A and B are shown apart, each in its own frame.
Chain A
């Protein structure tokens, strides 16, 4: 069975480069690619009652939007390279969610673009990439 690599993507050129890099290596190594986009979400955020009421519908909209605008273009790149691909959109803390999905899917390698978070968040908490490097149980490649 083909080994799976996980590629974490969001909007932006760094993700495109990561997907191109992953597709290239997948062709050579016979990997399968799991494309994942994580929508930043915390179960501990504060909401208004009407936000809660609409949350189920809103969540589905967010997933559909990400599928269409984030995943679809990346998927096209992988498919163009003739590599088998699966996709997933999840809500959660990006680094933790990527690591969980890597474990659940017996992923052998995680590949991400270097830019993820931006500005203040990154200065305080470190980027998704650096947290992956620190906490993942499989090798992580960060594509500049």
Chain B
């Protein structure tokens, strides 16, 4: 059925020009806004990284890749305009316009889908929209929402919150686009299992557009980057941060664990290994149950902090709006606030990276568009709700004004904000960070495995090698200061957005066609709610 639908929308002549014009206008507008509003001259740094004479080959390679991916002009102080962030935000703006503000129009329908109003009762027992969304969200929500936001506010000032929310709202349509495609081009295997994600829509989607070669190349590049991102940012970085949290709560730097952080790394490696090699599902199950509980606890605690400081809320919102448009309190002024806010949103909700598309594609539905609608809730939950709560807590308690913010690090900064009202909270936050990190590791081990499976044709040996490497890096991540390795792995995660977003632009007509066709049938009553009696 889906095969026949793919060719339904022949791209009308001239639509490519319109699309190019929109992309062009968006990019141009963005740059104009950036440079016209810049209060300080922007200097372009020398893109060539400087190395010590004894730097290892890996450090050099990693340094080059990092400086390329995160290349960008300096907007003053610690604020660099990352081109990769510009790339993601441009795509987010483009798809928001291209899909006619689907993020706003489709919001209620997304909620209805998650509530199961359109779920066929005969599909009971299959993966529901809620479950696909929850799985994807638990892979996304993590340190970025806690630690990343704290750092962002300390650099970008309260105004960064405003731009972070804007970018979160824009990311919704981009996420909807990639997750819809994930379902549309997923592979349903003979044994009933499903594989989906950018690898498949890049390969098969572009093949259908008559560009099979390009599709294959982009799919392979994507898969390689996803393996790198899984091992690095989705694993080593998580293990590293979780270890730091445990050490800070138990004995400190000079304690036993502080001196032997590998013990914690080994513990994580064993726990992750028990799930991904040993197939011990109960560990994963417990984590999946505890993580949403921790998220609710975190939000509740943030609400309590806000309520206790109730009278300061108007002032906090004032600071956010002022900061957003005057740049007050931000390194690099308004540009600093804007860049930092956009960057935090992009790093946190992962819209445009394509990772969530893998998780969403397991849903049970005959309509790929439905999962697109559901996916647009993801950046909303991640960025507009959770990141914003962290930001408000930090602003209202004025924790971001701490002069040692940069040295303290993100988690400690957030911790100190909560501590002003809830003295016992740092311990809970540490547990939450560890659990978030663990669940992120599990999600990314899955993403990495799907990428390995794609590259090596579901070869069991290849998948086992990947698992081994993954666990080795879990252990490695716990041993502190792996700056170049962590930069490298972050680069790999963001490199995923290159092939993915190129593919999304090329498939823009298919994406819009699918959503339009679905909405037409929704309007005409061809797609109906099922009568749910409870």
Interface residues, chain A, CB within 8 Å of chain B? Answer: 39, 41, 43-57, 59-60, 62-63, 90-93, 96-97, 99-100, 103
Contacts and interface: CB of A to CB of B under 8 A. Distances in A.
A54 B125 CA distance: 12
Contact of A91 (B124, B131, B281, B359): B124
Given A55-B364, A96-B533, 17 more contacts: A43-B130, A44-B128, A45-B131, A46-B291, A48-B446, A49-B358, A49-B362, A49-B443, A49-B447, A52-B131, A52-B135, A52-B362, A55-B125, A62-B125, A91-B125, A99-B533, A100-B534
A99 B443 CA distance: 38
B124 A53 contact: no
B125 A47 contact: no
Nearest to A45: B131
Q: Is the interface of B mostly helix, strand, loop or mixed?
A: helix
A53 B195 contact: yes
- Interface size on B, as a range, is 35 or more
A60 B190 CA distance: 13
Interface in B124-150: 124-132, 134-135, 138-139
Given A44-B130, A96-B534, A103-B533, A52 B124 contact: no
A24 to B, nearest CB: 31
B322 interface: no
State the 8 A-B residue pairs at the shortest beta-carbon distance, nearest first. A91-B125, A43-B128, A57-B192, A52-B362, A46-B288, A49-B446, A91-B124, A59-B125
Interface string B268-292: 0000000100000100110011011
A56 B194 contact: yes
A48 B192 contact: no
Nearest to B275: A48
A50 B288 CA distance: 12
A110 to B, nearest CB: 15
Given A48-B442, A50-B446, A56 B364 contact: yes
Interface in B239-284: 275, 281, 284
Contacts of B119: 43
A49 B139 contact: yes
B56 interface: no
A136 to B, nearest CB: 12
Contacts of A93: 534
Interface string B462-503: 000000000000000000000000000000000000000000
Contacts of B533: 96, 99-100, 103
A56 B192 contact: yes
B193 interface: yes
A81 B412 CA distance: 71
Contacts of B292: 46
Contacts of B362: 49, 52-53, 55
19 contacts: A43-B128, A44-B128, A44-B131, A46-B292, A47-B288, A48-B442, A49-B358, A49-B362, A49-B446, A49-B447, A51-B281, A51-B284, A52-B127, A52-B135, A54-B192, A57-B193, A92-B121, A92-B124, A96-B533
Given A53-B362, A57-B193, A43 B443 contact: no
B456 to A, nearest CB: 17
B446 A100 contact: no
A45 B288 CA distance: 9
Given A46-B135, A49-B359, A55 B191 contact: no
Nearest to A62: B125
Nearest to B188: A56
Nearest to A100: B533
A58 to B, nearest CB: 8
Contacts of A63: 125
Contacts of A57: 191-193
Contacts of B127: 47, 52, 55-56
Nearest to B293: A46
A53 to B, nearest CB: 5
Given A48-B446, A96-B534, A103-B533, A60 B359 contact: no
B443 A100 contact: no
Contacts of A44: 128, 130-131
Nearest to B292: A46
Nearest to A57: B192
Contacts of B76: none
